[in-house]
C-alpha cells in the first residue's frame, strides 16, 4: 500500500481544527444542527472501521455486527434508567457484558466458515432484534425504544446548547477507535488477521490456531462496537430497535465498500459520507424542493435508498477498491509518470 508521507502531519492539523471548529466564530460547524449531524456521522465512521477490522482485515463477513452495537446501547440505558449503576459504570458494564456475549456468539459462529458463518451471525442478530422489538421481559419497550433519563447523566449530554459537547465526544470516540484499530492492525496479531484473510491454510501450517485469532478479531470488533453504541445513546438520546436490525450491518458493509476496505481511513470516510448523505437525502425527500420536478424524476429522488443504491453501483463499477482504492490508483499513475 502506498503511504503518503504527509498523512500524519495532515491529521495533526485536521483533528485539532475539527475539535476547535465549534468555537471558531460563525462557520458551518458552529451551528447545532450540523454538529448533531456530524456527531452521528463520526460514530458511523467509527462503527464502519470496527466492521472493517472484521471484514476487511480478517476476511470475516458477518451480518450480526449491529447486535453488539445495539447491545451496548440497550444495556447502558437500562443500567442508567433503573439506577443499577451510575452512568460511567454503566458504560463499562455494557461494554464488558457485550464482550462476553461476543465471545459466546463468536465461539459458536466460528465453528462454521464462509457464507455459513454469515448466515449464523445473521440468525443471532435477528434473534436479538426480535427480543428487543417484541419487548420480552418488559424491559425494551418494544418498537418505541427507551428514552435516556436526562436526570441521570451529566448535563453536557442534554440540550441544544450542549450539542458541541456531543460533537467533541463523538469525534474523540472516532479518534480513539481509529488509534486502537491502527495499533491492532499494525501488531503481530493484526498481521495474522491479514494472513487469515489471504490464506487460512498457511496460517494453520505455521502452527498458529486460526480459530483463536478469528475469535480475537470478532470480540475486539464487537467490544468497540458496543462502546460506540453507548456513545450513540448519548448522542441520539434513546435506544431504538432500528439500531439492532440487520439493515445497520448491511449499511456498514456498504460504508466499507464505498470507502474501501483494509485502508482504515477508507472505512471512516465511507461511514461519514454514507451517514451525512443519508441524513441530507432524508431532509430532501421531506422538503418542497422536489414539488416542481416531474413525478418521473422526483419519485426516485425522494427515496434516499434509491440514490444511495445508485452511488454504490457507480462506486463498484468505476472504483472497485472504493474511494481509497481510487485514490491509490490515481496516485500510483502519477508516481509512475514521474
Confidence band (pLDDT; 50, 70, 90) for 27?
confident
- Asked if residue 301 is part of any domain, the answer here is yes
Rg of the chain in Å (alpha carbons): 21
What percent of the chain shows pLDDT beyond 90?
A: 57
Q: How many independent structural domains does the chain possess?
A: 1
- Asked if residue 191 is part of any domain, the answer here is yes
Q: Which residues have CB under 8 Å from 94's CB, separation 6+? A: 71, 72, 73, 75, 76, 79, 226, 229, 230
pLDDT at residue number 5:
60
E-assigned strands of 214-309? 238-239
pLDDT at residue number 336:
77
The three grid cell numbers given for residue 9, joined into one nine-digit string:
502531519
- Asked if residue 93 is part of any domain, the answer here is yes
pLDDT tens-digit map of 121-170: 999 999 999 999 988 778 898 889 999 998 898 888 887 778 999 999 99
The range of the structural domain enclosing residue 91 comes to 11-21+28-337
- Asked if residue 6 is part of any domain, the answer here is no
- Asked if residue 220 is part of any domain, the answer here is yes
The three grid cell numbers given for residue 244, joined into one nine-digit string:
439492532
pLDDT tens-digit map of 71-122: 999 999 999 999 899 999 999 999 999 999 999 999 999 999 889 999 999 9
- Asked if residue 3 is part of any domain, the answer here is no
Q: Is the dihedral of CA 266, 271, 274, 275 positive or negative?
A: negative
pLDDT tens-digit map of 40-69: 999 999 999 999 999 999 999 999 999 999
Distance CA 254, CA 312 (A): 7
Residue 72 belongs to domain with CATH number: 1.10.3470
- Asked if residue 251 is part of any domain, the answer here is yes
Phi (first) and psi of residue 238, to 5 degrees: -160, 160
In the numeric block, the cell 480475537 is attached to: 216
pLDDT at residue number 4:
55
pLDDT tens-digit map of 284-319: 666 666 566 666 666 666 677 777 778 788 887 887
Name the more confident of 329 and 60: 60
Asked if the model's pLDDT at residue 220 lies above 60, the reply is yes
- Asked if residue 5 is part of any domain, the answer here is no
Asked if the model's pLDDT at residue 282 lies above 70, the reply is yes
Q: Is the dihedral of CA 305, 285, 65, 312 positive or negative?
A: positive
Phi (first) and psi of residue 112, to 5 degrees: -110, 180
Could you give the C-alpha distances from 253 to 17, 102, 249, in angstroms and in order? 29, 19, 6
pLDDT at residue number 43:
97
The three grid cell numbers given for residue 125, joined into one nine-digit string:
442478530
The three grid cell numbers given for residue 174, joined into one nine-digit string:
472516532
Amino acid at each position: 500500500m502506498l503511504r503518503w508521507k504527509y498523512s500524519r502531519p495532515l491529521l495533526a492539523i485536521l483533528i485539532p481544527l475539527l475539535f476547535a471548529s465549534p468555537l471558531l466564530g460563525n462557520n458551518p460547524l458552529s451551528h447545532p444542527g450540523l454538529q448533531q449531524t456530524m456527531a452521528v456521522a463520526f460514530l458511523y465512521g467509527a462503527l464502519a472501521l470496527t466492521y472493517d477490522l472484521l471484514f476487511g482485515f480478517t476476511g470475516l463477513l458477518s451480518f450480526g455486527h449491529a447486535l453488539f452495537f445495539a447491545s451496548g446501547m440497550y444495556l447502558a440505558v437500562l443500567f442508567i434508567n433503573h439506577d443499577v449503576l451510575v452512568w460511567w459504570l454503566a458504560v463499562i458494564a455494557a461494554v464488558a457484558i457485550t464482550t462476553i456475549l461476543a465471545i459466546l456468539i463468536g465461539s459458536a459462529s466460528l465453528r462454521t466458515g464462509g457464507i455459513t458463518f454469515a448466515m449464523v451471525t445473521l440468525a443471532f442478530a435477528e434473534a436479538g432484534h426480535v427480543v428487543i422489538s417484541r419487548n420480552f421481559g418488559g424491559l425494551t419497550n418494544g418498537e418505541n425504544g427507551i428514552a435516556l433519563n436526562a436526570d441521570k447523566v451529566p448535563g453536557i449530554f442534554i440540550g441544544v446548547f450542549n450539542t458541541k459537547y456531543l460533537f467533541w465526544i463523538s469525534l474523540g470516540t472516532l479518534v480513539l477507535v481509529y488509534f486502537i484499530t491502527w495499533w491492532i492492525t499494525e501488531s503481530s496479531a493484526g498481521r495474522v488477521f491479514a494472513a487469515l484473510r489471504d490464506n487460512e491454510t498457511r496460517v494453520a501450517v505455521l502452527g498458529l490456531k486460526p480459530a483463536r485469532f478469528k475469535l480475537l478479531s470478532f470480540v475486539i470488533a464487537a467490544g468497540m462496537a458496543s462502546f460506540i453504541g453507548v456513545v450513540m445513546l448519548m448522542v441520539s438520546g434513546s435506544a431504538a430497535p432500528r439500531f439492532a436490525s440487520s439493515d445497520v450491518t448491511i449499511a456498514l458493509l456498504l460504508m466499507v465498500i464505498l470507502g474501501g476496505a483494509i485502508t482504515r481511513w477508507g472505512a471512516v470516510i465511507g461511514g461519514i459520507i454514507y451517514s451525512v448523505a443519508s441524513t441530507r437525502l432524508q431532509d430532501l425527500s421531506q422538503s418542497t424542493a422536489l414539488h416542481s420536478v416531474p413525478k418521473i424524476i422526483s419519485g426516485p429522488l425522494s427515496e434516499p435508498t434509491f440514490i444511495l443504491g445508485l452511488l454504490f453501483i457507480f462506486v463498484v463499477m468505476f472504483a472497485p477498491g472504493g474511494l481509497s482504492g481510487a485514490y491509490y490508483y490515481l496516485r500510483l499513475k502519477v508516481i509512475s509518470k514521474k
